[in-house]
Chains A and B, each alone.
Chain A
Amino acid sequence: MSTSTLEKRGTFLNRRKKDSRGEGDIAEKGGPVWTIVAWVATLLFFAPVAWMVLTSLHTEADAATNPPTLFSGITFENYGALFDRGVGPYLINSAMASIVSTLLVLALSIPAAYALSIRPVEKWTDVMFFFLSTKFLPAIAALLPIYLLVKRVGMLDNIWVLVILYTAMNLPIAVWMMQSFLAEVPKEILEAASVDGAGVLRSLWSIVVPMATPGIAATSLICFIFSWNEFLFAVNLTATISSTSPVFLVGFISSQGLFLAKLCAAATLVSLPVLIAGFAAQDKLVRGLSLGAVK
């Protein structure tokens, strides 16, 4: 590849990095009022999470008081109870289903998006609509046929069923997001790379993927979160071997006895990996969303 191609790519990436840090005109237009509004909105959205964490650190009796007590005695006994009830296999199953399905989604959606944006196939808008149409049917309507099919092939309570389902469920969203994002890659850069002798795979790997990193990160995170939190198929298609963490969570709900503190502890623990990953990738997530399908 020639120096000119790399320079163009570098300029493009630097421009986008600058935008993502809020150093452009947009930041200068905001005033203190908007800052306060943003903070209030943030606190409103964060309040339930903070409440969940606080409740998880109370005893069941304190967690059940009405009106709620904010800062009564702090205890970690609820977290101990989670490990006593064997949260480990559920987390492992969730990680397995989410990570593998996300990798599969990326492996399929990036080439698909490439074929729909950078080198569009014929009637590509129809193809996009077809992808979207697969999300029209409510998941609950598909549950029974899927259950019977999975039972027929003898794969009930098998984690690979969830991997396949989550891949299929997230693929349309991923293709839409990636298509929007790849459409922003300047064609001149790809043409320059082509002139320099780069083939499709080389262009995809050395030009498109680095430029689309925020989009890939955002898409990955969204697919991961959707898979991690999925409950309907997990509760119906798994039993004791392949159950995931959302199924473990609801097991704390009891019609007899107090459970709020333990449920909050379980919810906090199960949310932790997703929260940290989301926090780490927040700028890419926001940019990916603003440049992607939601644009």
Chain B
Amino acid sequence: MTRTKNNWRIGLMAGAITTALVTTACAGAGGGGAGGGGDSDEESINVLMVGNPQMVDIQELTADTFTKDTGIKVNYTVLPENQLRDKVTQDVASQAGQYDIASVGAYETALWQKNGWLHEMSSFADADSTYDSADLLAPVADSLKGEDGKLYALPFYGESSFLMYRKDIFEKEGLKMPDKPTWDEVAKLAAEVDGAEPGMKGICLRGLPGWGEMFAPLTTVVNTFGGTWFTQDWQAQVNSPEFTEAVDFYVKLIREHGEEGAASAGFTECLNAMSQSKVAMWYDATSAAGSLENPESSKVVGKVGYAYAPVKETEYSGWLWSWNWVMPKTTKKTDAASKFALWATSKEYEKTVGEKLGWSRVPSGKRASTYELAEYKEASGDFGALTLESIQNTDPTNPGVQPRPTVGVQYVTIPEFQDLGTKVSQSISAALTGSGTVKEALDSGQKEAEEVAKNYQGK
């Protein structure tokens, strides 16, 4: 009996080892080249990127297109945004040179370019006669340029923000969404559609703390309410009447008609809520529309209408963001790395994605020509043209009612903003849950902002 038990356990141990070996062997056979390192006899580059759906698509397409055409093998490392920022900073600051290309946002591009960490990309783009830099959307391209007027990143996809709403619910309730709604109108509409279906709330707005989470939409609200983080001469304005009014409005709207569990709702949670018919409106990134119209992940396909980002004092208030490919100065493979960046941001790549994966998955929001493609026009339906117009109407230099010290719509382009924005958003999140007040949050934020401002005043 004991012998049988021992044999059974030995067999199970052997099974564990076999499982490990089989899974690794099978996986190795099916691997797409990620993380596996490159063969020494062929040229390869190392790419670090976030795991957004558009990046997963490029990973899938690389071997059969880019590598096949150029012979350059691409080794991808995929990390979440925060880890990626840390990793690139560490890699560049220590001159380790482990990565030849990285995907970064517009905020990091501006900061790292000033630090002298990035290769300029204009010369590579200009040297490629098929690239057509003039086709890049002006606000997107401008946000990636240095003071010398050169591009320091090539845009992979761009986005603004707009209001998404349930056409069928509005029709049922006899309501009409204006093309350019004001925030006051949106608040009234949220009250009307709150509870239009069992368990349905009026609107989803990000309440998850984080400078890139809650403060992406909230800073656009602050901008259009007449507020700003800093004046042009670096006077902190976090508890100014305009900033306070905007945050009060945002918190009140969420508490009265917003999603369940708002303090932990970011982009993903709001996407879930809208896709699962739990909210009737959602103000967020234009890039969300592709997911809402994807039958594989959404239950509201064809039922969503789109309107400009709501406003109050300004004509437009959409944000501007792009994910871009940058080439750290530490790379020793500028030729191969620039070929990859040019390919990934080219018109041809967009066509490849459209033909192989579907036109709704094209990394759009960076080229005007994308919106002229008949297939993309059909796939992007109601939201394509509005996305283009929203991006074109953004003004990163002057997004509000007063001059700004840095360029950027929903963020202040200084390294301290990540920490400042996150801290203030944590206090506002406490106000959302009732464990604090907006005034307390902004008074505390003002002190933090004043400390930050001291680093820049008089310079």
Q: Which residues in A have some Cβ–Cβ distance to B below 8 Å?
A: 17, 59-61, 64-66, 82-93, 95, 147-148, 151, 156-157, 235-236, 239-243, 247-248, 250-259, 269, 272-273, 276-277, 279-281
Contact = CB atoms under 8 A, between A and B. Distances in A.
Contacts of A87: 27, 31
Given A59-B297, A254-B50, 8 more contacts: A59-B296, A243-B77, A251-B77, A254-B52, A256-B287, A273-B19, A276-B19, A280-B12
Contacts of B31: 83, 86-89
B51 A247 contact: no
Contacts of B275: 61, 64
Given A88-B36, A257-B53, A66 B75 contact: no
Given A66-B278, A241-B37, A88 B271 contact: no
Nearest to B97: A156
B455 interface: no
B277 to A, nearest CB: 10
Interface in B250-305: 260, 266-268, 271-273, 275-276, 278, 285, 287-288, 291, 296-299
8 contacts: A60-B296, A61-B297, A147-B90, A240-B34, A241-B36, A254-B53, A258-B291, A259-B51
B300 to A, nearest CB: 11
Interface size class of B (residues with CB under 8 A): 35 or more
Nearest to A98: B20
B34 to A, nearest CB: 4
A87 B266 CA distance: 28
Given A88-B26, A89-B36, A255 B87 contact: no
Given A241-B75, A257-B291, A61 B299 contact: yes
Contacts of A84: 30, 32, 60
A184 B296 CA distance: 60
Contacts of B50: 254-255
Contact of B12 (A240, A259, A276): A276
Which of B31, B32, B296 has its CB near the most chain A CB atoms (within 10 A)? B31
A235 B98 CA distance: 13
A60 B75 CA distance: 26
Contact of B276 (A64, A157, A235): A64
Contacts of B75: 240-241
Contacts of A250: 79-80, 83
User: Lowest 5 A-B CB distances belong to which pairs?
Assistant: A88-B27, A251-B78, A88-B28, A86-B31, A241-B37
A284 to B, nearest CB: 9
A253 B297 contact: no
A61 B298 contact: yes
A104 to B, nearest CB: 18
Contact of B30 (A83, A147, A279): A83
Nearest to A148: B94
Contact of B35 (A83, A240, A269): A240
Contacts of A95: 20-21, 24
Interface string B1-43: 0100000010011011101110111111111111111100000
Which of A60, A86, A147, A256 has its CB near the most chain B CB atoms (within 10 A)? A256
Contacts of B272: 64-66, 258
Contacts of A255: 50, 52, 80-81, 212-213, 266-268
B28 A156 contact: no
